[in-house]
Amino acid sequence: MSYGVSAALQAAVFKQISEDTQVDALSGGAIYDAVPVGSVPQTYVTLGPEEVREASDRSGGGAVHRFSVTVVSEAAGFGAAKTLAGAVCDALEGATPSLDRGRLVGLWFERASARRTGTGGAIRQIDLRFRARVEDD
């Protein structure tokens, strides 16, 4: 199995998050594949790092993708960030969007990490980790 399905999976994940009404409302539509240069909204969602491992079997080529979706917020406390992170999980967990290449077998939440970052811990960041199993047709 190659890394060939990665771009299709990323596009599908981005679309799934972007088209979710709850995520859109809570983030004010600030959902990025790459955080733009310059000023950004107080709260936003961005796609993060990815690790891929070969997972072919007798039925054909496949891979396991482990990727992060990050929620960033300057709102006081973790409440707003956690609510948005929960909406992202709801939008992705168990979703089976179609891919431009290959097929998504399953998508599962694995873990989350919440922390304060920035000067004086003014920024809240929640990294959500997901696992996706794909097959390449």
Range of the structural domain that residue 77 is part of: 6-135
Residue at 93 is within a domain: yes
Please tell me the predicted confidence (pLDDT) of residue 42: 94
Instruction: Please give the tally of structural domains in the chain.
Output: 1
Tell me which amino acid residue 74 is.
E
Counting Cβ atoms within 10 Å, is residue 40 exposed (0-12), middle (13-18) or buried (19+)? middle
Per-residue model confidence as pLDDT tens digits over 36-91: 899 999 999 999 999 999 888 777 779 999 999 999 999 988 999 999 999 999 99
Task: Please check whether residue 1 lies inside any domain of the structure.
Answer: no
**Is 35 inside any structural domain?**
yes
Please indicate, yes or no, if residue 80 is contained in any of the structural domains. Answer: yes
Going from the C-alpha of 30 to that of each of 1, 41, 86, 124, 125, the distances in angstroms are 34, 7, 16, 16, 15
pLDDT above 90 (res 2): no
- Over residues 32-50, the pLDDT tens digits come to 999 989 999 999 999 999 9
- Asked if residue 130 is part of any domain, the answer here is yes
Instruction: Give the torsion sign (CA, 95, 97, 99, 104).
Output: positive
Does the pLDDT at position 1 exceed 90? no
Counted residue by residue, the chain has a size of 137
Please compute, for residue 16, the number of CA atoms within 13 A of its CA located in the half-sphere on the CB side.
Answer: 23
What is the pLDDT at residue 100?
95
Does 21 map to a domain? yes
In this structure, what CATH number is given to the domain that contains residue 78?
Answer: 3.30.2000.30
Are the C-beta atoms of residues 66 and 130 closer than 8 Å to each other? yes
**What pLDDT score was predicted for residue 63?**
92
pLDDT for the residue numbered 102: 93
DSSP class of residue 35 equals P
Give the bridge partners for 127, in sequence order.
70, 113
pLDDT at residue 120, as a whole number: 81
Per residue in 103-118, pLDDT tens?
999 999 999 999 999 8
Instruction: Look at residue 20 and give its three-state secondary structure.
Output: coil
118: tokens are 């920035």
pLDDT for 60 equals 76
Does pLDDT of 125 surpass 90? yes
Does the residue 59 lie in any domain? yes
Mean pLDDT (whole number) for 6-18: 97
